[in-house]
């Protein structure tokens, strides 16, 4: 191909790709394109699609968007060999490294989500639900990873870049995408970290609480004579009519979905803007050092979290009950139990998506299934916490199941990249169906308790 004249090679042939995953959705932006060429619906029916399959958000060198999720063949599975001339690990090694990365990054993603939520919920906050910022940040990172072609490029691509500069030819993009989405480190970052950093079940929980006028918010209301540093349930203090509850619901829904889709685009643009300053992670270094180190860190962090839950450190901060101090009980309910359950949710999401996402080309069934199931479990745990069941320790375990298992089982970053990657009509159907089903489950499960017996205060510090 030459630089003169219109580009003749376009991203219309994806026959070399084998499997779609969370990373395969098409690019959200294609500045030079008038329309997309292909759609996910035209993908061969027997090809697998996991949650990495969404295409990159932006394809600047083409005249229209490369493809829709419906049209894309799949990217390499975690069991396939890399196209790099560097000797590839065996199938068992690749799957071991992938699982290790998922465990490691699910723990780190959970910590990032809980920390960002704590930072963004404060008196007078413009948006009174902290999960929205975790969803936005995770979607931004997902957009960056989906669009990036520098960090995970292989050795043979360096020569092509020295020859052709940063021009994105169709064949180059095709080969690069097929290679990087089969790398355990990339799967760990996109599926493990981004998927665990964001949470669809927490999004649905806050949407229900907003509808029910029960969203815990920092107190800053002239009619409530309580300290501004506390967090209360507005259902018990401030009355409002149904119209305001509907507005509160719409605020949570629009803010989460709209800002997350915007974050996906921003992350993709950042990847494009930073291309010239990023360095490649050598394949040999990644496989010999990073992959093996990930196994040690994953085992160490997960086992360490379990040990700290069983044998929490003592802190002389005053008694809670008869045996524990206030500080260690707060720590256990805020983070430790979540870290124990986080890898289970992440691994379940990955394998369910790998199995089911290719069943219906225009509807990522795997992601929909884990988001719906995780939302059901979240609603059940919310009810059990507020009955209450199991006393103080039971409340802590349930909180860990909510933030850890359900938070990592469900994902917004994958969800928005799939919405963006589908044809417009299918994207709307997928988005609306996911929200409608998730919110309906919460209304039936948690609403039946809240509007009949009411929620009792939590017995644990969260």
pLDDT greater at residue 191 or residue 391: 191
**pLDDT tier at 202, thresholds 50, 70, 90:** very high
CA distance 256 to 136: 7
Residue 135 has pLDDT above 60, yes or no: yes
Q: Which residues pair with 232 in a beta bridge?
A: 217
- The enclosing H or E element of 431 equals helix 424-450
**pLDDT tier at 233, thresholds 50, 70, 90:** very low
Any idea where the domains of the chain sit in the sequence? 93-450
- pLDDT at residue 294, rounded to an integer: 92
- pLDDT at residue 67, rounded to an integer: 63
**Percent of the chain residues past pLDDT 90, beyond the cut:** 44
- pLDDT at residue 386, rounded to an integer: 87
Residue 96 has pLDDT above 80, yes or no: yes
Contact yes or no for 404/335 (Cβ under 8 A): no
Segment 238-253 shows an average pLDDT of: 86
For the ranges 9-13, 143-147, 228-232, 284-288, the one whose mean pLDDT is highest = 143-147
Helix, strand, or coil (residue 52)? strand
Q: Which residue has the tokens 């719906």?
A: 372
CB atoms within 10 A of CB 429: 15
- pLDDT at residue 330, rounded to an integer: 65
CA distance 90 to 122: 49
Question: Chain centroid to CA 41: how far?
Answer: 24
**Dihedral Cα 209, 213, 216, 219, nearest 10 deg:** 160
- pLDDT at residue 282, rounded to an integer: 67
Per-residue tokens: 175: 């080969």
pLDDT greater at residue 82 or residue 390: 390
Model's pTM, two decimal places? 0.80
Segment 361-368 shows an average pLDDT of: 94
Q: Which residue has the tokens 């119209």?
A: 243
Output the CA angle 26-28-31, nearest 5 degrees. 110
pLDDT greater at residue 245 or residue 459: 245
Contact yes or no for 30/170 (Cβ under 8 A): no
Segment 79-91 shows an average pLDDT of: 55
pLDDT in tens, 423-434: 999 999 999 999
**pLDDT tier at 81, thresholds 50, 70, 90:** very low
Residue 296 has pLDDT above 80, yes or no: yes
CA distance 428 to 425: 5
Task: Of 375, 130, 432, 407, give the one whose Cα is nearest residue 259.
Answer: 130
pLDDT greater at residue 203 or residue 328: 203
Q: How many CA atoms lie within 13 A of 268 on its CB side?
A: 27
Distance between terminal CA atoms of the chain?
A: 59
Residue 288 has pLDDT above 80, yes or no: no
Residue 109 has pLDDT above 90, yes or no: yes
CA distance 309 to 337: 7
- pLDDT at residue 125, rounded to an integer: 81
pLDDT greater at residue 77 or residue 403: 403
Segment 292-310 shows an average pLDDT of: 92
pLDDT in tens, 161-172: 555 554 555 556
How high does pLDDT run on average in the chain? 77
Segment 286-297 shows an average pLDDT of: 85
Percent helix, strand and coil across the chain, each to the nearest 5: 60, 5, 40
- pLDDT at residue 327, rounded to an integer: 47
Residue 203 has pLDDT above 80, yes or no: yes
Segment 301-327 shows an average pLDDT of: 66
Task: Of 120, 58, 440, give the one whose Cα is nearest residue 256.
Answer: 120
CB atoms within 10 A of CB 252: 24
Helical pair 337-356 and 365-385, crossing angle rounded to 10 deg: 150
Per-residue tokens: 384: 């059990």
For the ranges 65-69, 85-89, 93-97, 416-420, the one whose mean pLDDT is highest = 416-420
- pLDDT at residue 83, rounded to an integer: 46
- pLDDT at residue 358, rounded to an integer: 85
């Amino acid at each position: 191909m030459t630089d003169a004249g219109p580009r003749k090679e376009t991203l219309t042939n994806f026959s070399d790709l084998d499997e779609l995953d969370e990373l395969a959705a098409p690019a959200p932006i294609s500045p030079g394109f008038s329309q997309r060429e292909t759609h996910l619906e035209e993908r061969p029916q027997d090809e697998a699609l996991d949650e990495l399959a969404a295409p990159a958000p932006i394809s600047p060198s083409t005249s229209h968007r490369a493809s829709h999720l419906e049209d894309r063949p799949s990217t390499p599975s975690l069991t396939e060999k890399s196209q790099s001339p560097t000797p590839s690990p065996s199938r068992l090694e690749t799957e071991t490294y992938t699982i290790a990365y998922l465990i490691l990054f699910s723990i780190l993603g959970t910590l990032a989500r809980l920390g960002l939520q704590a930072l963004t919920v404060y008196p007078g906050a413009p948006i009174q639900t902290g999960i929205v910022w975790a969803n936005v940040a995770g979607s931004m990172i997902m957009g960056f990873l989906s669009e990036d072609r520098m960090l995970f490029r292989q050795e043979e691509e360096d020569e092509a870049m020295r020859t052709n500069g940063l021009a994105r030819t169709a064949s180059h993009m095709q080969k690069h995408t097929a290679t990087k989405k089969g790398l355990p480190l990339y799967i760990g970052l996109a599926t493990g970290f981004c998927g665990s950093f964001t949470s669809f079940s927490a999004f649905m929980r806050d949407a229900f609480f907003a509808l029910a006028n029960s969203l815990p918010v920092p107190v800053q209301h002239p009619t409530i004579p309580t300290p501004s540093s506390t967090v209360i349930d507005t259902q018990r203090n401030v009355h409002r009519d149904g119209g305001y509850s509907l507005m509160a619901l719409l605020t949570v829904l629009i803010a989460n979905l709209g800002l997350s889709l915007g974050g996906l685009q921003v992350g993709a643009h950042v990847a494009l803007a930073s291309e010239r300053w990023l360095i490649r992670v050598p394949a040999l270094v990644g496989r010999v050092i990073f992959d093996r180190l990930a196994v040690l860190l994953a085992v160490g962090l997960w086992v360490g979290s379990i040990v700290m839950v069983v044998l929490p450190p003592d802190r002389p901060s005053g008694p809670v009950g008869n045996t524990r101090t206030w500080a260690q009980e707060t720590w256990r309910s805020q983070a430790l139990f979540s870290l124990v359950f986080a890898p289970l949710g992440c691994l379940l999401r990955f394998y369910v998506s790998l199995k089911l996402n290719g069943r219906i080309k225009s509807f990522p069934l795997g992601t929909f299934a884990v988001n719906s199931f995780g939302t059901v479990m979240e609603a059940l745990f919310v009810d059990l916490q507020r009955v209450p069941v199991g006393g103080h320790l039971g409340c802590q375990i349930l909180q860990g199941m909510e933030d850890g298992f359900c938070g990592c089982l469900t994902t917004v970053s994958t969800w928005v990249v799939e919405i963006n990657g589908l044809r417009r009509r299918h994207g709307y159907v997928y988005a609306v169906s996911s929200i409608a089903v998730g919110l309906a489950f919460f209304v039936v499960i948690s609403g039946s308790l809240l509007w009949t017996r009411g929620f009792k205060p939590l017995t644990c510090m969260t």
